[in-house]
Structure 1
Amino acid sequence: MNEFLIFDMDDTIFETKSIGEEPVKPILDKFEHLLIHRFGTELAKEIVAKLWKYPFDVIADTYKFDEYQNSEFARLVNENEYNLKVQPFEDFNLVKNLKQEKVLVTTGFSKLQNAKIQHLGLEKEFNKIYIDDILDPKRIFKKGIFKNILLDKNIKPEFVYIVGDNPHSELKAGFELGLNTIQVAKFGQKRSEYANYYISNFKELIPILAVK
């Protein structure tokens, strides 16, 4: 049986910081005004500064955002129009040439993730794309999506490879399900305990897939 590849997107296929501040600054400026009413000016600024660095759901959990704050942030994200200028990592061309079936599983707000997918031209590179929307009330997280893929494809875990950068998201989920986990460390990240393999360039992916 051929290997089945599940890719993450942010900081795996492209550098998230390359989006820049301009496309999302209007969202965070408006959200900061909303946060001031609950947290005060100083703490609101601190929270927004962290939103530039960390996923929204992590910050929301850390500061115990209520339903109103979560829904308002989602509304701002969904109302915003995104004119992104982003490119995949240069070595992503090697991934395009892989013969294995590939799917994309990415976490975030659906509208923003779809804008990234569109501007990166990923619709034609993957057999299917799944978005783990962080504010979906029926959210099953990446682990649930992986489980559904295994069931839908009727594929054994040893033939499935998770390719991503986040130790606390796709790598942990894949490892717990007995899948092969490949950590993409584009920025010299420390090797995760959940990584079966560790690469910094997609050319290192080829010999891993050739083993089985």
Structure 2
Amino acid sequence: MSKFKAIIYDLDNTIFPTHLIKMEMVSPVLQAIRDANDHRLSAEQLTNALTDCYRLSIREVAKKYNFSELMINAALSALSAIEINDQLTTYDDYRFLKEIEGFRFLVTSGDSNFQMSKINNLRIANDFNEIFIHDDNESGFKGKLRIFQHIQHKYGLNSNEVMVVGDSADNEIAAGNELKMTTVQILRSGITKASIAQYHIGNFSELFSLNLSI
């Protein structure tokens, strides 16, 4: 019998490999940031910021690199206009997620329209009891912390009944630790192993034994 009544999953680089988003799809966002930069960031800073746009939300990148309001607004405007025409796919091990008993929640950060378009394209919305998108000026950590607390209160869940699965040590893993939930970092390609996560897995199939043995 499963110990956990609920598992909270991240989306990007947990369920969905972000490298499938083609350069030409997001190039208008990157160009909007370049055009609005106006020498605010050095060439090196700008390059690093644009690279981070593939793994962090625009607001998180903006905060990290101290974007001007013009840069933020230009990026968000360009992002909201993006249409995903190619069929996206989840990681191959996604099927195991659907076999685990209990509540399933999807919590992700980023532009609401863009994140929801990815979810709809992947056709995974019906696999979750609820989907939450953190899309405001709070950090990913604070935004997810607030959503995790909401889930707990709404569904009457104790911290020891909730598992959090994701790739980001700074966001979902840190938020889960703050609330004394069980945190599991999934080590997708390119993800650095973080000691603050209580457990580490390589794919979703490992959740079966973890869910029963903890």
* TM-score (norm: length of structure 2): 0.88
Distance 1:140 1:192 in 2: 19
The alignment status of 1:166 with 2:168, answered yes or no, reads yes
> For residue 47 of structure 2, what is the amino acid of its counterpart?
E
- Cα offset for 1:194? 2.2
- Asked whether the 8 Å contact 1:3–1:209 carries over to 2, the reply is no
Q: Report SS of the residue matched to 2:125.
A: coil
Counterparts in 2 of 1:13-92, with a 5 A limit? 13-35=15-37, 37-39=38-40, 42=43, 45-47=46-48, 49-55=50-56, 56-92=58-94
- Asked whether the 8 Å contact 2:106–2:130 carries over to 1, the reply is yes
- Asked whether the 8 Å contact 1:70–1:135 carries over to 2, the reply is no
Distance 1:44 1:185 in 2: 27
Q: After superposition, what is the alpha-carbon deviation per residue over 1:138-190, rounded to whole angstroms, capped at 9, x for unaligned?
A: x9500111011111111110010001010000001101110000110022644
- Asked whether the 8 Å contact 2:49–2:61 carries over to 1, the reply is no
Show structure 1 runs of 4+ deviating over 6 A.
none
- Asked whether the 8 Å contact 2:18–2:54 carries over to 1, the reply is no
Q: How many correspondences in the alignment?
A: 210
Counterparts in 2 of 1:132-211, with a 5 A limit? 132-135=134-137, 141-187=143-189, 189-211=191-213
- Cα offset for 1:41? 8.0
- Asked whether the 8 Å contact 1:74–1:135 carries over to 2, the reply is no
Distance 1:119 1:93 in 2: 16
- Asked whether the 8 Å contact 1:171–1:182 carries over to 2, the reply is yes
Distance 1:158 1:85 in 2: 37
- Asked whether the 8 Å contact 1:19–1:85 carries over to 2, the reply is no
Distance 1:64 1:103 in 2: 32
Q: After superposition, what is the alpha-carbon deviation per residue over 1:33-55, rounded to whole angstroms, capped at 9, x for unaligned?
A: 121x2437835752554344442
Q: After superposition, what is the alpha-carbon deviation per residue over 1:87-123, rounded to whole angstroms, capped at 9, x for unaligned?
A: 0111110111222110100011111101110111111
Q: Report SS of the residue matched to 1:186.
A: coil
- Asked whether the 8 Å contact 1:7–1:102 carries over to 2, the reply is yes
Structure 1: 5+ residue stretches without partners: none
- Asked whether the 8 Å contact 2:93–2:204 carries over to 1, the reply is yes
The alignment status of 1:6 with 2:8, answered yes or no, reads yes
Coordinate RMSD, CA, aligned: 2.4
> For residue 42 of structure 1, what is the amino acid of its counterpart?
A
Distance 2:172 2:194 in 1: 11
